[in-house]
Amino acid sequence: MRRTRVQPSQPANDVWRTAVEYFRLIGHGLHLTNNQLGFVRDMVAPDVVFNSEYGPEAIMQHWCFMDWFGDVNVELKWEATDGESLVGSQLPA
């Protein structure tokens, strides 16, 4: 079973809402739906680094790769540091 855990009491800002929407659409794997592809392409700049590769295609490739391993739990949590950061963790099922 894959799950997305979102705390409703988290800070309400654009970064958090964008991350929540990302995990809502993709938290159960990438199924190449128009909603998923459009969201990732709209929200990820071409120069964003993800696992030493660039752009939205790197993220989509990662999710396709993760489907090979079956069930993955995806957890999203707000982590306050010196600035603001968002941490998305993939945990073994």
Whole-angstrom Cα distance, residue 49 to residue 14? 20
- Name which residue leads in pLDDT, 16 or 6: 16
Indicate if the pLDDT at residue 9 is higher than 50.
no
What percent of the chain is modeled with pLDDT above 70? 56
Average pLDDT over residues 55-81: 73
* pTM exceeding the 0.85 threshold for the entire prediction: no
Whole-angstrom Cα distance, residue 71 to residue 57? 22
Whole-angstrom Cα distance, residue 80 to residue 87? 10
Task: Say what the pLDDT of residue 41 is.
Answer: 87
Whole-angstrom Cα distance, residue 66 to residue 54? 18
